[in-house]
Structure 1
């Protein structure tokens, strides 16, 4: 992997520590670290970080140092290396570019903020007193391959620290790989599982399958699975290509014959060179301890105060005195608190205090061997007592399914202080018999009924805070057992409130980002289940010691994350966002998911049959228009038809010579005004076929499989922290993307029905984002139109084109509507032209006219964009922050996309916040109104769906509208009224 075009050229190889060589011989163990892989993992896994004194980006340097230090410590304590080196790519061009000039041609340039960190990372390696190796003209993988051969030939063993698939060809006796992020060794079996062939055949498989990332062409149409089948059958690539004419499948045979030379070129590209000349000898890579003064001075100069303290303590050395700039940095402020303090919820008074608390917490090491497996009532009671005394407990469940509606409890874990955690197994067994609870195959466990009876008072105790990571799942699982968990905190949503846009919020990422800790993986646990295929292994079959290490660590990590993140909420002034927009939604959404929505299978079946007939009719129509039988699912046939036969504009060939048939190609062609009528008819028919096929496969055929056997309802899952702007995301199944602009799409909603004696209510915010725009940008014309209840799109058209509202042509209003909504999403002249079927110049004129008529919108956009560049984030009207850490990049297209997103985010995010506030208030409002049957079932962006008894419909409509229309109050009184359209009916479509 090439790092940057701007890196200075070097004459030859490397920097190694000073000292006498240590000959590699039998018994030697050489660690070779894929430095480039480490860099990019550190960069993408952690949020952006700048040095306080000068604003220099150092996030990747910090992550790299933390990862390297962890690796050095762990390997020294366990499988100690005798030799150790970090290997880097030295240049973008290598000998492979002479073989194939387009090799890696599609690789994007390194992120702008990463480029200055490359030399600093090399300095970091040297500061750790570790060999830093690179060589012009060769990739790091070639150097690793050459060192591996040297070492094995000398009788030593090699561990390659990487998860890169390209290095898996090197695995053999004496050579293994190690994925440090997952703490997982990769040997022959793991390579066989990934590629379907042993390591010595990996090159053959890659030669056929190619690699789009590195632009290795391979053989078109052959993927890894097919390649493995062919190599296993014919032995190797040469034998396969010689006997290609024997292959029975015509397409496969033709491709292998036609692209045989391309496969051979690909082999030269993917096969690693294991005889790189003029390398530093492996003898020079001997392990040497860091020089404390050198290492700690480097860390101090980088202003990594926490890491400096941690490493200085481990080395038994005094940390160097801080520089004046470092001493003044925000990271130094505040007084550290003991990690185990009961009053860990106390608010930090400054960002520095929050950082200090995290630093103190980092001193408590992770030790999985100290976690307890609880198998008796007495020990469980003792742990519950500890939780009462602490006043808070981190809690996590282990189950048989990711679907809480069908999941059975396998066990649960608790943590009461950093490093003090336990696991309580409930459903473990050594066999694969039907699931049951209690003692199985000699495994001693507390009966689940007894364990939950002890646990229930704690989980429902108002004086004890229950802390979870994505705790909504655990609430739903425990609700099946009659346990209502409260009060709660969620570390995932704390991270979301603090750092939306800076990275993901899963436990593994947060643990690495905030604790510098790599969590044990599920794969590591089930690897200890004997005698089963990986797909058949379950957590409940894992040995209790490994299950305890995994589950208790989850609780331990969750507690530590809470102790790091909770003070930041106050320090960074986002407590209100978390307390009003995030935490209250957890229980509300959990209740919605358990309610589910009823679906009429007969309607879906009828629609599926109707759609199938429509698909068949459209296929016949396409065949008639084409003049022969045509495979609508074949990209090759589509490209040949459009660009060879019909000679339509816009065709581009791929590197393999085929026509490019990207997503959206047909839509782009359909928008071309100069398209011949017969071609337009064909393309529109294809688009109709594609839409109908998708509706059938995604909805009418798929939805019945999601109906719960016990409830007869579909229970979608909502993710609260999945988008940057605060919108919820629906999955399994996704009920937020059912199309409503087509007749067929709307028909799918007719299958969502109310239970007998009840009605569905759909309550939808009317043009909420335009109303927020009118408020934020202070647009008098828009405010007047909303105040007077006018048709906003007709008013806009009248302002822009001077056409009276009365009798306005529908096409004029349609154009104004497209501009109104397009402006919110930063639409370009090109995008508007495609949408309206007009020229780019005309669309540009429309947009310019719009800004002239509504100058406040342009002012809002300019101010928002400027603020995003200066602060790195934008805010909704309720204070939610959406971060854009890369918005100051020098790449114009990336910067433009981020600027458009930043302009839209306060609008879309404010709308999301308003409906969140409404949802949080809704259960209490319905209860207060005495509406005993009304239940909130779904949220679809600006719409809420309820189910209620027929007799309570009128009162429910009034209550729902009142809550939704007043949701922004008392925090914000919008300058325009909020309006909600609400209606009741027997099915979702009729209520909309």
Structure 2
């Protein structure tokens, strides 16, 4: 096997570790948050690499000091960078000790930056024919990418090659240094050429080939400001080119063969962990002792909420100061304020930031007076604020923290700002405490901070007197908005440390967190809707409703309000004398769907027609009428909003409008999907997992017959019919299908009897026979119920915890209900995790195949919907199928194949 060298940017790891955890101390009372974070990150990296195509050689590279040859070349280089936080500096040598404790080479060299040392080792290894991976997402290191060398971005779990560089910067790696020289770098104080950003720099290099050619052609550039800036700052550009050029020819501090991986001997690591008092990591190593160390320390006490201390930022100097604070802190909480809950239609009104507990500000950008004659308050322009915030929001070394960040990502993206990297406190809470409470900011603040947030209605009012946020006076707006950012930062400091301690890192980092920008882009894209078709259906449904209403009244012998349960109950059970009715506590007759289906099954024609009337009325009011109002007048599309932290099993939910509840089992319901169409020249692809929950049940319960059937493509319901009834026909297959799904939902013999139309004894006999033929299912159910009774939660294959507190309920009904939920939750939750992973990988996979025009529009349970040029259907179908079929890998390797059914058409109805 060829040698594969991994070079870890240790300096980048340090700052990521420091800003991911709140202030902690070790057993000696010394600062240790960065040490703890760095140790867990390096451990995870080594574990992940060991399970994948592990490295043959590896080293961690650090900056030796802040002064290098670049400071001699330009004394202002990195001059604006603040010194490291006082509590971080003493952790630097301990972090080096942590690397050595893993028996991994730790390399640094005076006069060179870590990037230069990495470049020297990378070039030397490539010259020997080795493969090289640099563990970093630093744009400067992207210059090194060539065949045989890539970057591994562990924060976003992706590989960066030449294609990703072209996608991000518009030029290949060999031209990236010229682009960086032109655009400069405000963080490192590389001057560049004023007025030249990334896009302009890329265009210039694309056109002229390199920096010197650009400068030579400056006189002929048509844009006057750009031309003059290039002429005036040519020397600065040339110096910038040398500042960003990586040194790659210095002698190596340690020979390549000394970087060989020998595994991680436990004893040096154990001694280090015991000295630091990292009890949870000792447990992971398998060596925790009763007196090893105290529990991990808690975040230091935080200041009280003092709203008058929040700052309203209305001038550039103040904004610059806050941005500098954010860079110095390395992490910043951010929140946007708008004039509408619909982020596609909303106007950005202001932005709030928080850099430390109690230290927050509000930057108004579109506030006006409350009234026609009121004067707008003094505030910075949207262009100024976003122009200054863009480098901060896009800087890979600064963590951005949000609460339900999807909304904010969309607002920023609408204005050309791509926020990365990020954490979302709503998702942190969701992945830690699903089932234990809501995950909105107000709920989390009460639960974790004992703080009641200012209510929106307090500042904007309610009812007819309500105003939009852009009309709120700045003092009140600042208290409300800055508090949001302050609360978000404090919640992050409480929740983020729990991820590793409570085994939630995997689902957060591999499933939920990377999904946020994917969903944001889907919501922005929306799906085209044929208004005329919806109007036609509304009219047709309206006629059908009138016809059914007349028939119901004729059968009843009287006119009444069919939509009134009270009037309908009286007609059915008193006027018509139908038997078996039951009254509720209010004394009114029950007319719910169960009761009406019972009556219909007993031959009451009126009950069937009332059910049809209800369905038609719901389809008209909820979909064909309402969807017309949801069409965005600017895009002609419907932009549904996905909730990422509502369904306890991890599933996404769709609202405003809800596109996941459009009925598809009835012909009339399917017709609504025909109104969802592709744009001109495009088609829709519907890709749907086939029987994914049954496949997962076969894997998770380890059922040989089911696993073999799925591997061979056998019809699973026919197999069950053979096992239970000894023969396969339409009736036995239908009954087997009902049983297959019912068992996975923990159905009782009473419930199965009702579904199959048989008595309880027969239903119980079928359940017993099912467990006899598939004992793995019975074992899985028993083990799952035992787990939820003992721990109060069950888990998916990806480690998502699904808490079911009702398992400790006071009544038998509560406890049995929790048990039924527990049986299906791991299966349904794993299914949700898998389709989320497919969604996260879909964009990069399509882009890598040259299919950047394919857009993912909708996720509906086990189905994904795409819009794409018709000419790309074959190529896209192959990528979509492979991405979905392999979505669980490499984290989970299933014993059964995942089947994907794909349809193509001009509208959603025909595609599905």
Do both share a fold (TM > 0.5)?
Answer: yes
Task: Verify the 8 A CA contact 2:445 2:491 in the aligned structure 1.
Answer: yes
Task: Verify the 8 A CA contact 2:340 2:468 in the aligned structure 1.
Answer: no
Query: 3-state DSSP class of the match of 1:357?
Result: coil
What is the alpha-carbon distance in structure 2 between the residues aligned to residue 965 and residue 572 of structure 1? 30
Which of 509, 524, 528 pairs up with 2:443? Answer: 509
Q: How does 1:529-678 map to 2 (within 5 A)?
A: 535-662=465-592, 664-671=594-601, 675=602, 677=603
Which of 619, 632, 639 pairs up with 1:715? Answer: 639
Task: Verify the 8 A CA contact 2:771 2:777 in the aligned structure 1.
Answer: yes
Partner residue in 1 for 2:793: 873
What is the alpha-carbon distance in structure 1 between the residues aligned to residue 465 and residue 753 of structure 2? 50
Which of 386, 400, 405 pairs up with 1:452? Answer: 386
Which of 363, 366, 371 pairs up with 1:424? Answer: 363
Query: 3-state DSSP class of the match of 1:695?
Result: helix
Task: Quickly say closer, same or farther: Cα 1:838–1:396, change in 2 above 3 A.
Answer: same
Query: 3-state DSSP class of the match of 1:886?
Result: helix
Which of 860, 869, 886 pairs up with 1:940? Answer: 860
Task: Verify the 8 A CA contact 2:431 2:504 in the aligned structure 1.
Answer: yes
Task: Verify the 8 A CA contact 2:307 2:479 in the aligned structure 1.
Answer: yes
Partner residue in 1 for 2:737: 817
Q: Which moved more, 1:834-843 or 1:621-630?
A: 834-843
Residue 409 (str. 1) matches residue 333 (str. 2):
no
Partner residue in 2 for 1:860: 780
CA offset digits 1:251-290 (Å, max 9, x no partner) = xxxxxxxxxxxxxxxxxxxxxxxxxxxxxxxxxxxxxxxx
Task: Verify the 8 A CA contact 1:335 1:356 in the aligned structure 2.
Answer: no
Partner residue in 2 for 1:911: 831
What is the alpha-carbon distance in structure 2 between the residues aligned to residue 842 and residue 378 of structure 1? 79
Q: How does 1:718-733 map to 2 (within 5 A)?
A: 718-733=642-657
Partner residue in 2 for 1:792: 716
Please state how far the C-alpha of 1:540 moved relative to its aligned partner. Answer: 2.0
Partner residue in 2 for 1:686: 610
Partner residue in 2 for 1:979: 899
CA offset digits 1:621-665 (Å, max 9, x no partner) = 112221222321122221112222343344233455432334543
What is the alpha-carbon distance in structure 2 between the residues aligned to residue 657 and residue 872 of structure 1? 38
Report the TM-score, using the length of structure 1 for normalisation: 0.61
Please state how far the C-alpha of 1:335 moved relative to its aligned partner. Answer: 9.3
Partner residue in 1 for 2:813: 893
Q: Which moved more, 1:729-738 or 1:883-892?
A: 883-892
Please state how far the C-alpha of 1:533 moved relative to its aligned partner. Answer: 6.4
Query: 3-state DSSP class of the match of 1:962?
Result: helix
Residue 697 (str. 1) matches residue 627 (str. 2):
no
Please state how far the C-alpha of 1:937 moved relative to its aligned partner. Answer: 0.4
Please state how far the C-alpha of 1:535 moved relative to its aligned partner. Answer: 3.8
Task: Verify the 8 A CA contact 1:354 1:564 in the aligned structure 2.
Answer: no
Please state how far the C-alpha of 1:516 moved relative to its aligned partner. Answer: 1.2
CA offset digits 1:800-838 (Å, max 9, x no partner) = 0011xxxx3212211111111111112222322332333
Task: Verify the 8 A CA contact 1:957 1:983 in the aligned structure 2.
Answer: no
Query: 3-state DSSP class of the match of 1:727?
Result: coil
Task: Quickly say closer, same or farther: Cα 1:987–1:856, change in 2 above 3 A.
Answer: same
Q: How many residues align?
A: 627
What is the alpha-carbon distance in structure 1 between the residues aligned to residue 388 and residue 294 of structure 2? 38
Task: Verify the 8 A CA contact 2:573 2:579 in the aligned structure 1.
Answer: yes
Query: 3-state DSSP class of the match of 2:518?
Result: helix
Instruction: Indicate the RMSD between aligned Cα atoms, in angstroms.
Output: 2.1
Residue 357 (str. 1) matches residue 298 (str. 2):
yes
Task: Quickly say closer, same or farther: Cα 1:920–1:657, change in 2 above 3 A.
Answer: closer
Residue 391 (str. 1) matches residue 330 (str. 2):
yes
Q: How does 1:252-291 map to 2 (within 5 A)?
A: none
Please state how far the C-alpha of 1:354 moved relative to its aligned partner. Answer: 8.7
What is the alpha-carbon distance in structure 2 between the residues aligned to residue 736 and residue 947 of structure 1? 18
Please state how far the C-alpha of 1:902 moved relative to its aligned partner. Answer: 0.8
Partner residue in 1 for 2:240: none
Residue 500 (str. 1) matches residue 434 (str. 2):
yes
Q: How does 1:433-448 map to 2 (within 5 A)?
A: 433=372, 441=375, 443-448=377-382
Please state how far the C-alpha of 1:607 moved relative to its aligned partner. Answer: 1.2
What is the alpha-carbon distance in structure 2 between the residues aligned to residue 873 and residue 581 of structure 1? 19
Task: Give structure 2 stretches of 5+ with no counterpart.
Answer: 1-275, 280-287
Partner residue in 2 for 1:765: 689
Task: Verify the 8 A CA contact 2:562 2:568 in the aligned structure 1.
Answer: yes
Task: Quickly say closer, same or farther: Cα 1:656–1:466, change in 2 above 3 A.
Answer: closer
Partner residue in 2 for 1:706: 630
Please state how far the C-alpha of 1:718 moved relative to its aligned partner. Answer: 0.5
Report runs of 4+ in structure 1 exceeding 6 Å deviation. Answer: 333-336, 349-355
Task: Verify the 8 A CA contact 2:593 2:611 in the aligned structure 1.
Answer: no
What is the alpha-carbon distance in structure 2 between the residues aligned to residue 785 and residue 656 of structure 1? 52
Partner residue in 2 for 1:132: none
Q: How does 1:85-484 map to 2 (within 5 A)?
A: 356-358=297-299, 360-361=300-301, 363-433=302-372, 441=375, 443-484=377-418
What is the alpha-carbon distance in structure 2 between the residues aligned to residue 648 and residue 373 of structure 1? 69
Partner residue in 1 for 2:135: none
Partner residue in 2 for 1:185: none
Partner residue in 2 for 1:967: 887
CA offset digits 1:93-149 (Å, max 9, x no partner) = xxxxxxxxxxxxxxxxxxxxxxxxxxxxxxxxxxxxxxxxxxxxxxxxxxxxxxxxx
CA offset digits 1:657-689 (Å, max 9, x no partner) = 432334543134334xxx2x3x2x221111111
Task: Quickly say closer, same or farther: Cα 1:354–1:515, change in 2 above 3 A.
Answer: farther
Please state how far the C-alpha of 1:469 moved relative to its aligned partner. Answer: 0.2
Task: Quickly say closer, same or farther: Cα 1:697–1:442, change in 2 above 3 A.
Answer: closer
Which of 887, 908, 911 pairs up with 1:988? Answer: 908
Query: 3-state DSSP class of the match of 1:701?
Result: helix
What is the alpha-carbon distance in structure 2 between the residues aligned to residue 534 and residue 630 of structure 1? 35
Partner residue in 1 for 2:677: 753
Residue 780 (str. 1) matches residue 719 (str. 2):
no
Task: Verify the 8 A CA contact 1:354 1:568 in the aligned structure 2.
Answer: no
Task: Give structure 1 stretches of 5+ with no counterpart.
Answer: 1-332, 337-348, 435-439
CA offset digits 1:828-871 (Å, max 9, x no partner) = 22322332333333323222222222121111101000011111
Task: Verify the 8 A CA contact 1:668 1:834 in the aligned structure 2.
Answer: no
Task: Verify the 8 A CA contact 1:391 1:463 in the aligned structure 2.
Answer: yes
